[in-house]
Amino acid sequence: MFKIGCHLSSSKGYVHMVEETLSIGGTTFQFFTRNPRGGAAKPVDTDDIGRYNKTASENGIREIIAHAPYTMNPCAATENLREFSLNTMTDDLARLSLTPGALYNFHPGSHVGQGADAAIELIAGLLDKLLEADAGNTTPVLLETMAGKGSEVGSKFEELRRIIDLVADSSRLGVCLDTCHVYDAGYDIVNDLDGVLGEFDRVIGIGRLKAVHLNDSKNPFCSHKDRHEKIGQGSIGIDAFAKIINHPALRDLPFCLETPHEDISGYAGEIALLKSLRNE
Ligand code: FE
Ligand code: FE
Ligand code: ZN
């Protein structure tokens, strides 16, 4: 089955996200676990979650992506900022244990002052604490590939590999590949998708790849900008997306759109377009 969907607002709960997903022809979705600009998450609505687990499985929605707030910085130079990230992620994972099929995606962060090597150690240290505290939870934790804007960690496959290697029990760790980010970071998925995925396999191991963010890019190859564009309207282009969604190493993963649209009808069009390009 083609697992395709888009980023949705979680403000009306899980069941509402399923309804929206079905209304646009989707089979998966993504949402922020809490206000991405920070703050507390809403109280757990066990009724909504109970109904969600039933309707999701009835409608073939098996994997969804919960995205951590992008403003937190797991490798911040100051300890209390890192502790904020750890507490946020711990709370998010406790909630996600209630929704089997969720993948938890986060941005590794930016090294401000302390340098990339120290940042990689800080991220691994945070993950050690997170995974240890939450042993028994099986929710996969995914590092997102980044564009390399500013001092972002994770724009090189090697950096993600080093984080994974430093974590004591990395069995729950995976990677979410963002097409805009990797193209902006200098991985040429337009002219050499096989080469990029081969490199991913050599450096990280293709088995770690658990999800794909489908975004075109407003900027040229290797620009390190991270500005998403609608599918087929940016520098990546529609032919590359046709190859991505059909590639044997990717085609069974959940694909999630994070393209700029005013409302979800724009996603309905993109999902229909991608379905028309999918070889079943
Ligand atoms: Fe992201
Ligand atoms: Fe993304
Ligand atoms: Zn992005």
pLDDT in tens, the chain (280 residues): 999 999 999 999 999 999 999 999 999 999 999 987 767 888 999 999 999 999 999 999 999 999 999 999 999 999 999 999 999 999 999 999 999 999 999 999 999 888 999 999 999 999 999 999 988 899 999 999 999 999 999 999 999 999 999 999 999 999 999 999 999 999 999 999 999 999 999 999 999 999 999 999 999 999 999 999 999 999 999 999 999 999 999 999 999 999 999 999 999 999 999 999 999 8
What's the pTM?
A: 0.97
* Cα of 88 from ligand 1 centre, angstroms: 16
CATH fit for domain 4-277, picks 2.40.170.20, 3.40.640.10, 3.30.1300.10, 3.20.20.150: 3.20.20.150
CA distances (Å), origin 280, targets 2, 64, 71, 251, 252: 8, 21, 38, 10, 11
Q: What is the DSSP letter of 219?
A: S
Residues 6+ apart with CB under 8 A from 228: 180, 215, 216, 217, 218, 234, 258, 259, 260
* The one catalytic residue among 144, 152, 216, 270: 144
Tokens of 243: 């190859």
Q: Is 144 a catalytic residue?
A: yes
Q: Is 67 a catalytic residue?
A: yes
